[in-house]
């Protein structure tokens, strides 16, 4: 029993270094878990296409992280339903609707393009 006590008293700097490493490692793990953000879910593409009107979609484009959809008649687009899907920054410019999502816009664009064709 005395040997261990003598070892720790003679090597106190070793204990301080190990303690600091454990403290720093624990803090890093805690902060990573606390700040970990969940990836936003992809919206249901069927609801996006129904808000736009499947037969109303003339063309789809993906430009600068935004989804651009040209429609035949922009008056028939249900903008409230589109907003309810999580669309952000909805702009109507002539017959073109421009919007984006917090999720993977390119994946959403590809899914809309598949469903619209």
- Per-residue pLDDT of the chain in tens (117 residues, 90 and over written 9): 567 777 777 877 888 898 999 999 999 988 888 777 666 677 788 999 999 998 999 999 999 899 999 999 989 999 999 999 999 999 999 999 999 998 888 999 999 998 887
Which CATH architecture best describes the domain 45-116? 2-Layer Sandwich (3.30)
The per-residue pLDDT for 93 is 93
Total-model pTM: 0.63
Contact 52, 93 (CB under 8 A): no
**Can you give the pLDDT at residue 38?**
64
CA–CA separation, 81 and 44 (whole Å): 12
4, two tokens: 């261990």
| pLDDT reported for residue 39 | 66
The burial class, CB within 10 Å (0-12 / 13-18 / 19+), for 27 is exposed
Domain range summary for the chain, segments of one domain joined by +: 2-35, 45-116
């Amino acid at each position: 029993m005395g040997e261990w006590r003598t070892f720790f008293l003679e090597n106190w700097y070793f204990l301080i270094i190990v303690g600091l490493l454990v403290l720093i490692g624990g803090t890093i793990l805690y902060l990573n878990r606390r700040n970990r953000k969940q990836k936003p879910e992809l919206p249901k593409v069927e609801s996006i296409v129904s808000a736009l009107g499947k037969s109303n979609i003339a063309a789809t484009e993906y430009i600068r992280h935004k989804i651009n959809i040209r429609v035949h008649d922009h008056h028939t687009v249900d903008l409230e339903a589109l907003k309810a899907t999580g669309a952000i920054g909805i702009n109507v410019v002539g017959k073109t609707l421009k919007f984006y999502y917090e999720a993977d816009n390119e994946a959403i664009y590809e899914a809309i393009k598949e469903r619209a064709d």
